[in-house]
Amino acid sequence: MMSSSREREDSLTFPINPSSSSSPITLSEHLESFLQDPTSHIGSASGSYSNEGLLATEITSPCNNDVEFGFSRPDFRQQSPISGTVQYYQRHVFLCYKNQSVWPRRIEAAEFDRLPRLLSAAVLARKTDMKKETRLTICEGHDGTETSNGDVLIFPDMIRYRRLTHFDVDTFVEEVLVKDGEWLPLTPEKLEGSFVFVCSHALRDFRCGVCGPVLVTRFKEEIELYGLQGRVSVSPCSHIGGHKYAGNVIIFGSSINGEVTGHWYGYVTPDDVPKLLERHIGKGEIIDLLWRGQMGLSEEEQQKCQELRHLANCETTIEGNTKEATERQVDEVNTTACRSQDEPVSCCQGNGSASCYHDPALPENLDILDTDEGAVKLTTEKKKGSKKPISKITNGKGAAVRKVCAKPTWFESWEREDTYAALAVVCAAASIAVAYSCYKQLS
């Protein structure tokens, strides 16, 4: 419980109701003390994107040790299932800003980077006025690329605002996040495709710092391999909560019914990346082994959702097994029926009110036969390459298909022994006839 509470406190999110126990939005003690410090240098920097080198001097690279912090660490995949580990929230805002190599431990409290600090403070100050519980995360941004410094991505709205500056923070939060309107004079760009975010915040936790960059690289390789450029984008992001589940991945995109969803995955390895691209993004399937939860669902709802999926999968498996068993039984019945062609053909289905039919010589051109006991219907079809009729048997509660073997003619059942017997009879009759003829002549 202590570990879980600590992870929730670390997350950079902002609740609507601060008294709610399920709210994911927490202001770190560091940021709170920093904002309340009258001697702090808020606004002292010359620009929103300056002093990158100063931030870089604070970075201490983590030991890139896979055994200690990576996918081979002792605590990797020690918890299962991991559903219900995403705190409830309704909207995710990503600020594109520099890259993980220069992100300090708590980028929202970075003294020399005004944009993320002021944006987080503004969101926190207006949290009670927002209609949606909002989570703020920093993702990678590079000037001159698709995601430039200052760009803001909002999900599930699937929109992008370009080049937010520290001068615009208050207006942006008021118009977009509080009033759910548009930030004029700019028009939001509509986002298309799927967006993948991988926690790579090295100074926040070494596990994310070791696993995250490896996953980002693998995603980019697979995206290029499958030709998904422009349809799937991947970006490293700052801490999202749940260090112990590293690698942590969030995937935003439209579901089959057109609804935009945000699914969280944990314990993701490079070998899981092709599965996420093929099954989750390509087919809309959830990989339950890695699934942590979903934007818009509470922890309890996430667990129930996974239970329902398991139940549905079990029912599908049972139906498939039942169908295979039924087909095997039908095949066995057909084989037995064809072997004993001289015996009457019969079929009984027990459904509480059993319906049976017995017919030693079913006509080959039988179409429909109604009985008083369950209205059993039989229809015959010609199977390709075979003259044997096939009967479909339905009794209102289900349907079964069985093969009805027609009785062979006397010529089809004639065998060599029968020929010898017939010749013997003919010879005997001829011998008798000759003997009788001789007897008549002598007398």
Same domain, 79 and 152: yes
Lowest-pLDDT range of 322-326, 342-346, 421-425:
342-346
**In this structure, is residue 393 part of a structural domain?**
yes
| pLDDT (0 to 100) of residue 121 | 92
Quote the crossing angle between the two packed helices 114-125 and 29-36, to the nearest 10°: 90
- Is residue 430 included in any domain, yes or no? no
**pLDDT tens string 30-50:** 333 434 443 333 333 334 443
Percentage of the chain with pLDDT > 90? 47
pLDDT digits (tens, 9 = 90+) for 283-326: 999 999 999 999 999 999 999 999 999 888 776 655 566 556 55
Q: Are residues 52 and 155 in the same domain?
A: yes
Q: Which of 251, 271, 297 is the last residue of a domain?
A: 297
Residue 324 is predicted with a pLDDT of 60
Determine if the pTM surpasses 0.85.
Answer: no
Per-residue pLDDT band for 234 (boundaries 50, 70, 90) equals very high
Mean pLDDT for the stretch of residues 184-213:
93
77: how many CB neighbours lie within 10 A of its CB? 14
Q: Look at residue 335 and tell me whether its pLDDT is greater than 90.
A: no
| 303 lies in some domain | no
Q: Does residue 308 form part of some domain?
A: no
212 vs 57, more confident: 212
Residue linked to tokens 């999202």: 240
- The residue from 267, 297, 327 where one domain ends is 297
427 within some domain = no
pLDDT of the residue at 3: 44
Cβ-contact 113, 45 below 8 angstroms: yes
- Looking at the fold, whether 97 and 203 belong to one and the same domain comes out as yes
CA distance 360 to 357: 10
Residue 103: what pLDDT? 85
Using CA atoms in the order 426, 427, 431, 434, what is the torsion angle rounded to 10 degrees? Answer: 70
Residue 198 — pLDDT band, cuts 50, 70, 90? very high
Domain, as residue range, for 131: 2-297
- pLDDT value, residue 315: 64
Question: Which pLDDT score, from 0 to 100, does residue 208 have?
Answer: 94
pLDDT beyond 80 at 175: yes
Quick one: 157 and 81 in the same domain?
yes
Task: Give the SS3 label for residue 265.
Answer: strand
- Give the count of domains, the chain: 2
Write out the two tokens for 185. Answer: 């004079």
Confidence of residue 364 (pLDDT cuts 50, 70, 90): very low
Q: How many CB atoms lie within 10 A of CB 148?
A: 15
Domain-located, residue 160: yes
Asked whether residue 291 falls in the same domain as residue 319, the answer is no
**Is the same domain home to 282 and 397?**
no
Same domain as 322, residue 273: no
Q: What is the CA radius of gyration of the chain?
A: 38
Pair (258, 368) in one structural domain: no
- What are the beta bridge partners of residue 189? 160
Above pLDDT 70, what percent of the chain?
62
In sequence order, what are the residues at sequence separation of 6 or more whose Cβ sits closer than 8 angstroms to the Cβ of residue 434? none
**336 and 393, same domain (yes or no):** yes
pLDDT in tens, 241-287: 998 999 999 999 988 788 999 999 999 999 999 999 999 999 999 99
136 and 242 together in one domain: yes
Q: Would you say residue 393 has pLDDT above 80? A: no
Do residues 196 and 222 share a domain?
Answer: yes
Q: Are residues 263 and 357 in the same domain?
A: no
